[in-house]
Structure 1
């Protein structure tokens, strides 16, 4: 598998609407590490074509912590997790607004309101909607909501309130899904993304790499997101949290993470690809290289794990000669 390929052919394919075959996708993931720069160069040409040297910044607020009845094996907030995480019900409007102001201060164009749980209760939905309306009136921020499984009517109300984007990750491949979560199905996740799309919200859906999936399944995940037509694709790398079933999982090697980001760029060329949770832990000193394939990062902390200090992210973007994309609504 380690013969040298003409990675430029993958650039051409991506820019001309072609789709990598499974075998080609696997060759990206299986390439020798001395191929990294050539692969990133090929991915960068695609990224540059669609996004120039702009980097989108997103900031998350953990709007409700712990207290979740689902059993997702990677999550510190699940019903089966023994991880010591803060547990609180939905944050009040003032706290959500303060988070939005913080997102503005960090130059984030998108503010992500995330709540653990199977889906939002009537009260939670009302609280989010109230905060969203006020943010929309006072700040030039895009708002992404991530509240679990949605009903059609709930999706309609969020869209009406001014939520731009709805996030619901596929997380892993269809075939690996049952080994990660048993309390809901892969299909239910796809349905929620479709419901959000039907109401005019932009679909955001991504994956978590490092949960025992095979390389073939990683390629399948990229295909699935292309099929779902997700506008925004967060690629998370498992941060194994003590107290969760996946606590002992091995860290994804940095080189493998970079190849994975390149693969997603080739398969979903025009989409926002975001280096998400686990970025600091997985990529370590190679974080800047990720932006040659991806065009977006989360700034600040994740849900129950810490991110790096914001000035480091701004410096990294500046040092690459890239620039933060200011929010244009």
Structure 2
């Protein structure tokens, strides 16, 4: 049933968020189940929260797919998994010079954060050494924040990355705990939580997000937001499933644009002070409504993703400029 919540009540949810109060399950569901005619009102309330914490600044992030395919995991959404037949490039971890070139490209795209992503359950010692060598040189030569996304870490690996100068570690929860076994069976939801906690203990900023559109219920979307609030993730990428041919979820379809905007607003209400990013699949789900996402989120990925193309960085720069927002400069 569609929500009949009045416009003034959307503003009330914004006030609750600003006061640090957690929305109840009925309040959170009201956002997701609201009539589509309410989307602009919901975004207006979310924007007040976003503006309070981030003004009109937009953080830009860029990913490099540092190791493609060759992954033993069975994640149903991923073209790089062992169960995928998608025709992607497969290669071992990129050399230092290629990773450095990626960092220079991130700066050219006005990104403040550069994320080195490697497919796999977790890094080998050799791979960790290679990443650390590149991280140290980037830190010495470029004013970028560095994020690593290398899979499940043990305590020693997390300690080494932190000591090398990695600012942030990404390990997404992806879906709800209840839905997790239907998406992945080669590792557990709890293992992901544990890796994020290890990153936090080693003083790396925790980055963890979700993928919307993998068969979860609206209640489970709320539970994901609750989980990330409890985990105290500093950065929350909200991905929308880009259903890739050759993956188990290839027929899952797309999240409609107005639903996607409600999801982004919900995460702003439930994690009000956090960096919330419109991430992978935004081009597919939001399509022509991408500019509206910035009224709820304060962060974007620019350029391509892991095995799928993103929007041209110049188009994102134009959206930010046309809305009267501004790109946030990197402050180390």
Range into which the TM-score falls when normalised by the shorter chain: over 0.9
Which residue of 109, 114, 129 maps to 1:111? Answer: 114
Which residue of 166, 191, 195 maps to 2:198? Answer: 195
Which residue of 51, 61, 65 maps to 1:62? Answer: 65
Comparing 1-10 and 16-25, the one that deviates more: 1-10
2:56 paired residue number: 53
Where in structure 2 are there 5+ consecutive unaligned residues?
A: none
Considering only aligned residues, what root-mean-square deviation do their CA atoms show, in Å? 0.5
Is the aligned partner of 1:17 residue 2:20? yes
Q: Deviations over 1:42-76 (max 9, x none)?
A: 00000000000000000000000000000000000
2:151 paired residue number: 148
Q: Deviations over 1:268-312 (max 9, x none)?
A: 000000000001111000000000000000000000000011110
Q: Deviations over 1:114-171 (max 9, x none)?
A: 0000000011000000000000000000000000000000000000000000000000
Shift of 1:251: 0.6
Q: State the alpha-carbon separation in 2 of the partners of residues 139 and 328 from structure 1.
A: 12
1:211 paired residue number: 214
Q: TM-score, normalised by structure 1?
A: 1.00
Shift of 1:250: 1.6
Is the aligned partner of 1:280 residue 2:283? yes
Question: Is the CA contact (8 Å cut-off) linking 2:5 and 2:30 kept in structure 1?
Answer: no
Is the aligned partner of 1:313 residue 2:328? no
Q: State the alpha-carbon separation in 1 of the partners of residues 287 and 48 from structure 2.
A: 24
Is the aligned partner of 1:3 residue 2:1? no
Output aligned runs, 1:160-179, within 5 Å: 160-179=163-182
Q: State the alpha-carbon separation in 1 of the partners of residues 129 and 225 from structure 2.
A: 34
Is the aligned partner of 1:293 residue 2:308? no
Q: Deviations over 1:77-117 (max 9, x none)?
A: 00000001100000000000000000000100000000000
Shift of 1:4: 2.9
Where in structure 1 are there 5+ consecutive unaligned residues?
A: none
SS at match of 1:197: helix
Superposition misfits of 4+ residues, deviation over 4 angstroms? none
Q: Deviations over 1:218-274 (max 9, x none)?
A: 000000000000000000000000000000002100000000000000000000000
Q: State the alpha-carbon separation in 2 of the partners of residues 121 and 268 from structure 1.
A: 34
